[in-house]
Amino acid sequence: MRLLLASPARRTLLAASRAAHPHEACGLLFGTREGASLEVASASVAANVAAEPRRRFEVDPAHLVAAQRAARHGGPAILGVWHSHPDGPARPSRADRAGVTDPDWVWIIVAPPVIAAFLPDPETQDGFRPLPLGAGGV
């Protein structure tokens, strides 16, 4: 499986991550999934409502519900979630592993300028499988 990240989504992730520093930025990923092909066309930026936003992220539930409602009514499909690691590497943390609620969602972690993609995978030692990341779309 490979993930393609459109340029506008890439720019959103990097800009929001830098703007939120030293807090974690977060949001949702939208696009298409066809078999082993995933393409993130856009990304939203949500309020991080975690109690410790410097070390954790929690997408504002109202943002998530609005995106789910829009998807049910013909809006873009939610492919997953993204967040930043302002002072750490772009790889899943213990807190990230504990936060997986949908095993089919793609996770993107941003540690500017690095962007990395993962799929939850309980069969692996760290609970995530890296996804090759390529440029897609415009």
Q: Tell me how far apart the alpha carbons of residues 50 and 28 are, in angstroms, rounded to a whole number.
A: 15
39 is catalytic: no
The one catalytic residue in 24, 34, 52, 58 is 24
- DSSP run (H or E) holding 93: none
Whether the bond between 113 and the residue before it is cis, its omega within 30 degrees of 0, is: yes
Alpha helix stretches (DSSP H) within the chain: 7-20, 61-72, 94-98
Catalytic residue IDs: 24
